[in-house]
Structure 1
């Protein structure tokens, strides 16, 4: 039984430049800040950054892994507060994802608060999913 305070199994994901290329192709977001260091730095970024929606999708994976059913996610929102900088090497960037059940509601849903960190700092703010719990 799910209860307020329950923690979701953590998920660590490595994001590499090849992942950015694949995501750009799927999303049609070919902005050069996601693949060209020179362009990224020219606009004030510390280097190539992951797509914000990719980061949000990875955080969503934490929840869908826990529910075992992507259709159980009824609502999901987040704010982008810091970029994930992806170096051009084999290691890439590690995104650390955790979640906690904030509340279980009488209607059979639960609110899950999600934390996404890169380099020890939050990259998503107010990341919340509302999920339908199994009957």
Structure 2
């Protein structure tokens, strides 16, 4: 896909436009698959005993995994991952993933916070898990049609 496949028009978007929120389940199996894909086999992401020994409450999701799930709200909305010109977050809290049938859930919402030049908008994201904000300053700059 190229940015020309973006279906959302800059003229049709206003500051305050809300992106469709999404919920992303995270289980220990999800973390194992992500570790295999990313090469990040740090034991805090799969070994409960090790995670607790280093002061964590339990196994935690990879920060980059959490960041990527949040970005999906933007890429799904715009329809083209290539339209994302900038993306950054601050990691504020880990996503704790218990070893049960439910695991954890990451809830992500987004809102157009500013209209910029050159058909770009800034989208501010909110990512929550277990009632706590897990990403701070989560922002994407997106080029619209």
- Structure-2-length-normalised TM-score: 0.91
Shift of 1:106: 3.0
Shift of 1:23: 0.5
Unaligned runs of 5+ in 2: 1-11
Moved over 4 A (4+): none
Q: Does 1:105 align with 2:116?
A: yes
Distance 2:101 2:13 in 1: 38
Unaligned runs of 5+ in 1: none
Q: Which residue of 2 aligns with 1:21?
A: 32
Task: Please provide the CA RMSD for this pair.
Answer: 0.6
Number of aligned residue pairs: give it.
Answer: 134
Distance 1:49 1:105 in 2: 36
Q: Which of 1, 7, 11 is 2:22 aligned to?
A: 11
Distance 2:110 2:24 in 1: 14
Aligned with 2:59: secondary structure?
Answer: coil
